[in-house]
């Protein structure tokens, strides 16, 4: 049946232009089983690319001279070409059959590719790539959309503009302003900061504030143990520092937890993976297992952090450079966000030049310039001695798909390191921040640009 269907597909590619134009973007050479069918399809596709129409039989036979095949194969190809009947089947029926054909062939090819990877015959992919290969095959479908009609679909566009999008908000006013209310679904958002600046603090703070809003959060950590993440959330929600947390008796601790449980309606699940061992495929399996075993579906996912994730498609080392690897990880995480309809908030390191830089730029992203190309929202966190003395943290927008990046490009928030929390500061603290000059000049007294002097003596 498949062989006959392949012949029907080739016949309609030649004689049914409406059908051919709809299916050619989705058909692939390796979907055809017989070598002559592969060669004929490849030539039909090339003819469409070159001349925007299907070839006739004579053109196909002439092109067969360039197929680099022996006499026996040539005769077989010509025989197949001459057997292709002049037909134009019912397009709707054939489109459905062709879509099913493509799906079946994609899955079959993915399984065979997976077997070669498992047996070590395919050196370009590791076994970790298997889930992504099968996932891509299962996702094959004909896209029925023909695009957005600018004039004809104006009503739908207007409704989109005024539809209240479900977002996961911050508990910091300026973050909500620059993101128009929080992080939208199907997005990848990344904070850029140096070592010990507070990337995990921000992620833990946001996770704690999210469950207080009644939303579910999944925190994936590959840097710290699950308990270390949980203790930071405990400190934030209980309003205690680490010393107080460890001195607290079990009865008092349980009482605090009961209070938090009564005040928050969201759930937080923290999952630890070894550094550089887990990728989007593992996270996908975790999400499915949480749904099945705990009936838990997150509203947001935190990944701590991108640079120590693995890629499901590429194996680190060998011929894979850091640019390609980190970009691949970012693309896979963003695809996961789209697939599960959630925002993902993660972090990345600055490179060495950004460690002591009070004016972090997009170019300071560590390891891969491909990361900023992929993310929806990228912002930097900057700490200096002067800011630490005032209990403040500088935020600088580097890329945003939510708003004009120049709208509050830079601003400060309060930071309480002992209690692992961020907070709004008075408006007067923003004076002189949102311009192109550094937050502090190089004077010995640490004079703040546009504001008051700050003397450490």
DSSP labels, 391-457: TEEEEEEEEESSS-TTTT-EEEEEEETTTTEEE---GGGGTTTSSSS-SB-S-TT-PBTTS------
Encode the chain (457 residues) as per-residue pLDDT tens digits.
Answer: 466 889 999 999 999 988 998 899 899 999 999 999 999 999 999 999 899 899 999 999 998 888 888 889 999 999 999 999 887 777 788 888 999 999 999 999 999 999 999 998 887 777 877 887 887 888 888 876 667 888 888 888 888 777 777 899 999 999 999 999 999 999 999 999 988 889 999 999 999 999 999 999 999 999 899 999 999 999 999 999 999 999 999 999 999 999 988 888 899 999 999 998 899 989 998 998 998 889 999 999 999 989 899 988 777 665 778 888 889 999 999 999 999 999 999 999 886 554 455 677 766 666 667 788 899 999 999 988 889 999 999 999 999 999 999 999 999 999 999 999 999 999 888 888 765 544 444 334 444 333 333 332 2
Residue with tokens 């403040």: 392
| Helix/strand/coil for 98 | helix
Cα(207)–Cα(215) distance, integer angstroms: 9
Report CA 105 to chain centroid distance, whole Å: 27
pTM: 0.66
Report which DSSP code applies to 428.
G
Contacts of 356 (CB under 8 A, 6+ apart): 194
Cα(457)–Cα(439) distance, integer angstroms: 20
Report which DSSP code applies to 52.
S
Q: No. of H helices and E strands in the chain?
A: 17, 11
Query: What pLDDT does 446 receive?
Result: 41
| Helix/strand/coil for 364 | helix
Domains of the chain by start residue, with CATH: 2-138 (1.10.860), 167-430 (3.40.50.300)
Q: What tokens were used for 164? A: 């209240």
CB count, 10 Å around CB of 233?
A: 21
Q: Are 450 and 410 in contact (CB under 8 A)?
A: no
Query: What pLDDT does 316 receive?
Result: 66
* 3-state SS string for 118-156: HCCCCCCCCHHHHHHHHHHHHCCCCCCCCCCCCCCCHHH
Report CA 198 to chain centroid distance, whole Å: 22
Instruction: Tell me the backbone φ, ψ of residue 410, rounded to 5 degrees.
Output: -130, 140
Q: Are 360 and 395 in contact (CB under 8 A)?
A: no
Beta partners for 83?
none
Report which DSSP code applies to 196.
T
């Amino acid at each position: 049946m498949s062989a006959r269907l392949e012949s029907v597909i080739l016949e309609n590619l030649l004689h049914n232009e409406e059908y051919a134009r709809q299916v050619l973007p989705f058909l692939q050479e390796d979907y055809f089983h017989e070598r002559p069918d592969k060669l004929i399809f490849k030539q039909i596709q090339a003819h469409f690319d070159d001349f925007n129409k299907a070839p006739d039989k004579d053109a196909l036979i002439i092109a067969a001279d360039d197929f680099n095949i022996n006499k026996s194969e040539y005769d077989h190809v010509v025989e197949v070409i001459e057997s292709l009947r002049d037909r134009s089947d019912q397009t709707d029926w054939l489109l459905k059959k062709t879509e099913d054909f493509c799906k079946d062939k994609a899955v079959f090819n993915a399984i065979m590719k997976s077997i070669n990877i498992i047996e070590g015959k395919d050196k370009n992919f590791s076994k970790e790539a298997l889930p992504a290969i099968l996932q891509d095959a299962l996702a094959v479908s004909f896209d029925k959309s023909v695009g957005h009609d600018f004039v004809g679909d104006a009503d739908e566009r207007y409704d989109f503009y005024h539809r209240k999008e479900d977002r996961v908000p911050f508990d910091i006013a300026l973050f909500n302003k620059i993101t128009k209310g929080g992080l939208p679904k199907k997005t990848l958002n990344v904070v850029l900061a140096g070592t010990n600046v507070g990337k995990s603090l921000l992620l833990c703070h946001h996770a704690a504030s999210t469950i207080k809003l009644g939303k579910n959060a999944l925190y994936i950590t590959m840097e710290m143990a699950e308990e270390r993440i949980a203790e930071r959330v405990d400190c934030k929600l209980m309003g205690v520092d680490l010393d107080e947390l460890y001195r607290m008796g079990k009865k008092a601790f349980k009482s605090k937890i009961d209070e938090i449980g009564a005040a928050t309606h969201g759930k937080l699940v923290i999952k630890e993976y070894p550094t550089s061992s887990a990728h989007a495929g593992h996270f996908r399996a975790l999400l499915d297992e949480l749904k099945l075993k705990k009936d838990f579906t997150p509203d947001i996912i935190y990944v701590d952090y991108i640079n120590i994730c693995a890629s499901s498609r590429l194996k680190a080392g060998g011929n894979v450079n850091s640019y390609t690897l980190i970009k691949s990880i970012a693309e896979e995480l963003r695809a996961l966000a789209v697939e599960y309809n959630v925002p993902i908030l993660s972090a990345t390191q600055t490179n060495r030049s950004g460690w002591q830089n009070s004016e972090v730029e997009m170019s300071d992203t560590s390891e891969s310039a491909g990361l900023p190309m992929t993310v929806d929202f990228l912002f930097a966190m900057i700490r200096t001695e002067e800011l630490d003395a005032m209990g403040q943290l500088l935020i600088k927008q580097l890329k945003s798909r939510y708003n004009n990046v120049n709208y509050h490009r830079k601003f400060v928030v309060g930071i309480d390191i002992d209690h692992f929390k961020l907070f709004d500061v008075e408006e007067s603290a923003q004076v002189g921040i949102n311009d192109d000059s550094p937050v502090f000049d190089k004077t010995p007294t640490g004079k703040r640009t546009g504001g008051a002097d700050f003397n450490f003596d």
